[in-house]
A = this chain, B = another copy of it.
Amino acid sequence: MSSRTEEKFRVGVAGYGYWGPNLARNISAREDCIVSGICDLDPARLAIAATVFPEAVITESFSTLLEIPDLDAVVISTPVASHFELAKAALVAGKDVLVEKPLARSSDEARTLIRLAEKKSLILAVDHTFLFTGAVAKIKQILDEGELGNILYFDSVRVNLGLFQPDTNVIWDLAPHDLSIINSLVGLTPTLVSAVGTCHAESGFVDVAYVHMKYESGLAAHLHLNWLSPVKLRRMLISGSRKMIVYDDMEPSEKVKVYDSGVSVKKIVDADSVHKRLVDYRIGDMTAPKLDTSEALFVEINDFIRALTERKPPKVDGLAGLDVVRVLEAADESLSCNGKWVPVF
């Protein structure tokens, strides 16, 4: 091993299915990082990994990955059910960890990981990739500057055909994106959740779901999550008292549109006329701000490496991951109670 290599961050990748290769590619794109090892249970995936990373340790065993000499960190992109065990083992072995969303199967698991990382002064980051997109960064800037006035509601549609997950329902698969975005934008987590869903494909898992959320501020949010839609839609409406936003992730270039439109109340006491409107609305210009087009995952990896270097929290830490899992947990309970409002603990 050359001295130049010894100075690099040595990262292991657990899980080389759909997302793992993207993580590995972005890690190796940094001059100061090296993908030291890759593990996966599927030999076919490992064969591909070996071609792309001929110098990395390629193994079916996560333990072997952890034993790579001088390994600094592990990124975990395995099925959700294994997140907890793998992340825990990595932390126990003294490695910094980046875990794909959602952080764990339960808030108990998530809390255990957070405590373990704290105790060992290790970095625990969660891969909420959308928070690193130019689109969400721009929306956050607009909201932080108060341009929208009071935020009235979020409405998100995240639907497509297929890409069924084998071990989870559509809420656990798709909602982490919306939850992490909304949590980040408003700096709050919902206090009450209601979820209804149906299971059409006989996989045993809910594949069409609707989630309502209430916040202490009076804010409401609604998610439509669906694996059975003929078309792929990724659209969030954010309505404010002064302006409104449409964030359409399927648009090739104008993903964020800010509408200088709003609603105001006119109190007209005019009992004679049934045609009088009590409410007035205003429609103005629309602006699609220029967005940073950097690859979100690369920005995220940069933040992870910064956290490793500075020994300071990553932008999306274990608590952010926990906040998402808490809502997923409440949604599952509500699902099984036919949409009952469930408090988020």
A278 contacts B by Cβ under 8 Å = yes
A269 contacts B by Cβ under 8 Å = no
Q: Which of A67-75, A96-104, A198-206 is the interface stretch? A: A198-206
With A and B bound together, what is the CA distance between A252 and B244 in angstroms? 19
A109 contacts B by Cβ under 8 Å = no
A158 contacts B by Cβ under 8 Å = no
Contact of A161 (CB < 8 Å), options: B231, B250, B272, B281: B281
A274 contacts B by Cβ under 8 Å = yes
With A and B bound together, what is the CA distance between A338 and B339 in angstroms? 10
CB pair B279–A203 under 8 Å, yes or no, is yes
A152 contacts B by Cβ under 8 Å = yes
Within 8 A of B (CB), among A239-259: 239, 241, 244-246, 250, 252-254, 257, 259
Q: Which of A173-181, A221-229, A307-315 is the interface stretch? A: A221-229
Q: Which of A77-85, A110-118, A126-134, A325-333 is the interface stretch? A: A77-85
CB pair B279–A201 under 8 Å, yes or no, is yes
Q: Mark A280-294, 1 if CB is under 8 A from B, else 0.
A: 110111111110000
CB pair A230–B244 under 8 Å, yes or no, is yes
A62 contacts B by Cβ under 8 Å = no
CB pair B290–A284 under 8 Å, yes or no, is yes
Contact of A341 (CB < 8 Å), options: B204, B254, B338: B338
CB pair A28–B54 under 8 Å, yes or no, is no
Contact of A290 (CB < 8 Å), options: B159, B166, B283: B283
**Contact residues in B for A41 (Cβ distance below 8 Å):** 272-275
Closest to A79 in B: B274
Contact of A230 (CB < 8 Å), options: B28, B200, B222, B246: B246
Contact of A286 (CB < 8 Å), options: B224, B232, B254, B279: B254
A277 contacts B by Cβ under 8 Å = yes
A76 to chain B, nearest CB (A): 13
A167 contacts B by Cβ under 8 Å = yes
With A and B bound together, what is the CA distance between A231 and B283 in angstroms? 10
**Contact residues in B for A4 (Cβ distance below 8 Å):** none
Closest to A197 in B: B220
**Contact residues in B for A284 (Cβ distance below 8 Å):** 290
**Contact residues in B for A259 (Cβ distance below 8 Å):** 230-231
**Contact residues in B for A51 (Cβ distance below 8 Å):** 28
CB pair B237–A229 under 8 Å, yes or no, is yes
A9 contacts B by Cβ under 8 Å = no
Closest to A45 in B: B275
Closest to A40 in B: B275
Residue ranges of A at the interface with B (Cβ–Cβ < 8 Å):
17, 28, 41-42, 51, 54-55, 78-79, 81-82, 152-153, 155, 157, 159, 161-162, 164, 166-167, 194, 196, 198, 200-204, 207-208, 210, 212, 220, 222, 224, 226-232, 237, 239, 241, 244-246, 250, 252-254, 257, 259-261, 263, 265, 272-281, 283-290, 338-339, 341
A42-B273, A153-B200, A162-B283 known, 11 other contacts, Cβ within 8 Å: A42-B275, A81-B274, A153-B228, A155-B208, A157-B157, A198-B220, A210-B212, A228-B244, A230-B244, A250-B252, A287-B287
7 A-B Cβ contacts within 8 A?
A54-B54, A79-B275, A82-B274, A152-B200, A203-B278, A208-B239, A231-B237
